[in-house]
Chains A and B, each alone.
Chain A
Amino acid sequence: MNKNPILNALGETLKKVGIDKKKVCITSDIFYKPEDIKPLGVDFYHIHRGRSIAFATGLKLGNPALKVIAFIGDLSTLGGNHFVHAGRRNMNLVTICINNYIYPFKATKKPVKTSFSTYSNFERPFNMPHLAKSCGAVFVARWTSLHTKELSSSITKALHKSGFSAIEVISPGGHYFAGIPDLKEEPDLIKFYYKNSEIKNGEETMNLEIEFGKKIIVGEFIDRERPTFIDLYNKRLSKVLGDKFEPYGGNRD
């Protein structure tokens, strides 16, 4: 049992998903302790900030047999462009976006202060599922970190999808939000997010804004098929080059 609820969900998934763990690589620009990662039994790369998805793209193209999971923070606050383009290309990756509101959080009753916005944060947060859908993701979901079972089920689906999957996890950045009135402890925040959420599978992504005083809508929103980057690459080049071309990697595993 991992103390980190998200890694816990991932660990549960990897036990049951039926994919060779050896072939699973996690890239992350968020730091996780070796003792939290080692029990997963996968390769783990702690990347310099913001480049997790681009690095994962290289891993996947270098060896298409790998199953690559890219952890990013708050819509890859740095390197959001990599998210957009990986979605557009439909790179075969599972992106888990840990959203702890570097961009602000509006579901609280009072305006939120973070350590970087001492006078409360007035900016609008991302609607990540909506963005992921417009970029072309084939699977989009959102959960809070206490929805362990649901999250695990979504990761399983994403790992079996061919293409770019994006799963947003609403999770507190404890240090960052230490200044929220009445929510000084991290467990309080986790519970707060959980209680203030409402499951609406298949909800139209444009309705998923996180707004002041409203519930956080969670669920699985998009599940569709699109050809991946490697599929299209092989198709096009086989057509142009014929026998001279040796198909790259294969479209799935």
Chain B
Amino acid sequence: MRANPRDVRTGILYIDGDVAAAEGALAAGCKFVGGYPITPSTEAAEAFVRRAPQVGAMFIQMEDELGSISAVMGASLSGKKSMTITSGPGFSLMMETIGFGAMLEIPFVIINIQRGGPSTGVPTKTGQADMMQARWGSQGDYEVITLSPDSPQESFDFTIKAFNLAEKYRVPVMLMSDECVGHMTEKVVVPEADKIEIEPRRLYKGPKDKYVPFKPDKDLVPPMVKAGDGYKLYLSALTHNERGYPTQNIKNSSSRRLIDKIRLNADDIIEIKEEGLEDAEVVVVSYGITSRVAFRAIEQARKLGIKVGNLRLVTVWPFPDKKITELSKKVKGFVVPEINYGQVVFEVERCVHGNANIILVPHGGASVHNPNDILTAIKTIVKDKKRYDGILEFKTELELRIFGSGDNK
């Protein structure tokens, strides 16, 4: 299915990442946003508010983030493509409902423009520390999909992709952007509507009396119906069977399928961008804004004659296990820069199985890495002969200056 020309602002735009995400959502056919203002995501909501009434979409400012995301669940089940826009503190409030959405397999998108630090943190500055929360922030087992853009263009493209994945797999999809990308203004090329591929809702087409709400198709995803279409739905957030009725028998419930529909379709979902991996001695694994910073370090290292591969995670969750394991057998080590004190690096470590060295280049947030730190990490890992005990945490130049000499090899 192609996008509706009315929804797409075709042309070459000069907009920031937040606005680009809102434009992406509109292009993807999003017709409902429930939101609550929070820095640094506000511009995305503002952009949506301006255009929504002109394309038959609705924006409502709910009483809080709990209300916003709950309204998004309702709107999605009534048949509208829906999303919410937030940042860390709001994201935390949404956790229980993300679990609810995963449980009832409601397609929806969350745009999380990450800020720095825990709790109220640094509202106006960047961070990448919500990655693990995005994965497992709500209670119980479930799987989600996250996408990490590194530019306004990608904010636009990945928001469309997020909606497509949400509808295809009936799963919460999160655009894990950050303040830097959100507030960075760049050229964004918005293609014509007929060049934008849109995933329509998986609507049930069989006879009405044969509909079983959670009976999956071959790809483990069940088709949906809209509220008020006369299917006499009974959907419960309790652990439920195919009919949606509560059950305590986990084997008969949808619990396993919630996981499998993502894990078994991982090859179809996972997207990575790679470059120079063929003969690499070192691979830099990065995502979001950090990829752009890492790129500078990679260029400099190559000038010094070091063979550095660049692996960008577009989908951080599900994680590209196979790719990392495969690489770990060929390379000397991995350098993982991220704007937190170590989250995705532990996934890299899990997949490396001790085959190679790993250096984490952490960052506390509120700004991005100094590319020199990543370069130093690359040089270190190439030079070192011995196998590290676990992950080597790289002390940045800034930290050394503040805390005195650390164990910086």
Contacting residues, chain A, for B56 (C-beta < 8 A): 246, 248
Residue of B nearest to A238 (CB): B53
Contact B79 A244 (CB under 8 A): no
Q: Is B70's beta carbon under 8 Å from chain A?
A: yes
Which of A4-12, A31-39, A156-164, A182-190 is near enough to bind chain B?
A: A31-39
Cβ-defined contact, A62 with B76, below 8 A? yes
B66 touches A46 (CB 8 A): no
Q: Which of the four size classes fits the interface of chain B?
A: 35 or more
- Tell me the complex Cα distance, A85–B34, Å: 14
Residues of B within 8 A of A246 (CB): 53-54, 56
- Is A51 located at the chain interface by the 8 A CB criterion? yes
The reply to whether the CB of A77 lies closer than 8 angstroms to some CB of chain B is no
Q: Is the CB of A57 within 8 A of B74?
A: yes
Chain B proximity mask over A1-44: 1 for CB below 8 Å, otherwise 0 = 00000000000000000000011110100010010011001111
Query: Across the interface, which residues of A come within 8 angstroms of B292, CB to CB?
Result: none
Q: Are A61 and B75 interface neighbours, CB within 8 A?
A: yes
From B54, B70, B230, give the contact of A245 (CB < 8 A).
Answer: B54
Known: A45-B233, A46-B236. A58 touches B73 (CB 8 A): yes
Contact B229 A59 (CB under 8 A): no
Segment from B14-22, B93-101, B173-181, B347-355 that makes contact with A: B93-101
Bound CA–CA A215/B74 (angstroms): 39
Most buried by B among A54, A57, A63, A244: A54
Q: Which of A48, A54, A59, A233 meets B227, CB within 8 Å? A: A59
User: Cβ of B71 and Cβ of A57 under 8 Å apart?
Assistant: yes
- Judging by beta carbons under 8 Å apart, are B77 and A62 in contact? yes
Q: State the CA gap A92–B245 with chains docked (Å).
A: 28
- Give the interface segment out of B57-65, B143-151, B361-369: B57-65
Give bound CA distance, A34 to B243, whole Å: 10
Q: How many Å from the CB of A23 to the closest CB on chain B?
A: 5
Contact A84 B63 (CB under 8 A): yes
In the bound complex, CA of A79 to CA of B65 (Å): 11
Give the contact-size bracket for chain A: 35 or more
CA distance A62 to B80 in the complex (A): 6
Q: Which of B63, B77, B79 contacts A85 (CB 8 A)?
A: B63
Q: Which residues of A contact B60 (CB under 8 A)?
A: 57, 61, 229
Whether A127 is near chain B, meaning CB under 8 Å from some CB there, is: no
- Chain B residues lying within 8 Å of A31, measured Cβ to Cβ, are 236, 238, 246
Q: CB-defined interface of B115-151 with A at 8 Å, one 1/0 digit per residue?
A: 0000000000000000000000000000000000000
Q: How far, in whole Å, are A233 and B244 apart by their CA atoms in the complex? A: 35
Give the CA-CA distance A25 to B231 in the complex, in Å. 11
- CB within 8 Å for A46 and B100 given contacts A22-B230, A59-B74, A62-B75: no
Chain A proximity mask over B197-236: 1 for CB below 8 Å, otherwise 0: 0000000000000000000000000000011111111111
Q: Is A82 an interface residue (CB 8 A)?
A: yes
B72 contacts A by Cβ under 8 Å? yes
- Set B67, B82, B236: member contacting A57, Cβ < 8 A: B67
**Shortest beta-carbon distance, B236 to chain A, in Å?**
4
Chain A residue contacts of B77, Cβ below 8 A: 45, 58-59, 62
- A66 x B96 contact (CB < 8 A): no
Q: Could you tell me if B73 and A43 are in contact, using CB atoms closer than 8 angstroms?
A: no
A58 adjacent to B100 (CB under 8 Å): no
- Cβ distance A232 to chain B, nearest Cβ, rounded Å: 12
B250 interface residue, CB < 8 Å from A?
no
Is B32 an interface residue when CB atoms closer than 8 A count as contact?
Answer: yes
Does B265 lie at the interface of the complex (its beta carbon under 8 Å from any beta carbon of A)?
no
> At the interface, yes or no: A146 with Cβ under 8 Å from chain B?
no
Given contacts A31-B236, A38-B234, contact A54 B78 (CB under 8 A): no
- Please determine whether A63 and B71 come into contact, CB atoms closer than 8 angstroms: no
State whether the Cβ of B184 lies closer than 8 Å to any Cβ in chain A.
no
Does B237 interact with chain A (Cβ within 8 Å)?
yes
Does the CB pair A48–B234 fall under 8 Å?
A: no
Q: Residues of B contacting A56 with CB < 8 Å?
A: 74
Q: Are A63 and B63 in contact (CB under 8 A)?
A: no
Q: Is A47 an interface residue (CB 8 A)?
A: yes
Which residue on chain A has the smallest CB distance to residue B232?
A41
Chain A min CB distance to B171 (Å): 17
B99 engages A248 (CB within 8 Å): no
Report whether A245 and B53 are in contact in the complex, using a CB–CB cutoff of 8 Å. yes
The CA-CA distance from A37 to B233 in the complex, in Å, is 10
Quick check: A54 and B67 within 8 Å, CB to CB? yes
In the assembled complex, the Cα of A44 lies from the Cα of B245 at a distance in Å of: 11
Closest to B240 in A: A46
Residues from chain B with a CB closer than 8 A to the CB of A81 are 63-64, 66-67
- Complex contact B66–A54 (CB within 8 A): yes
Contact in complex: A22, B229 (CB < 8 Å):
yes
Partner of A62 from B32, B63, B230 at Cβ < 8 Å: B32
Asked if A58 and B70 sit within 8 Å, CB to CB, the answer is yes
Judge whether A60 is part of the interface by a CB distance below 8 angstroms: yes
Whether B71 pairs with A58 at a CB distance below 8 angstroms is yes
A240-253 near B? 1/0 per residue, CB < 8 Å: 01001110100000
- A246 CA to B51 CA, complexed, in Å: 12
Q: Which residue of A lies closest to B34 (CB)?
A: A58
Which 8 residue pairs of A and B lie closest in terms of their CB atoms, listed nearest first? A58-B74, A62-B78, A58-B71, A62-B75, A54-B70, A59-B74, A22-B230, A46-B236
Sample 22 A-B pairs with CB under 8 A, ordered by A number: A22-B230, A25-B228, A31-B236, A31-B246, A34-B234, A34-B243, A38-B234, A44-B235, A45-B227, A45-B235, A46-B235, A50-B66, A57-B67, A57-B74, A58-B34, A58-B73, A61-B58, A81-B63, A84-B63, A237-B53, A241-B54, A248-B53
B residues near A (Cβ < 8 Å) are 32, 34, 53-54, 56, 58, 60, 62-64, 66-68, 70-80, 82, 96-97, 99-100, 226-238, 243-246
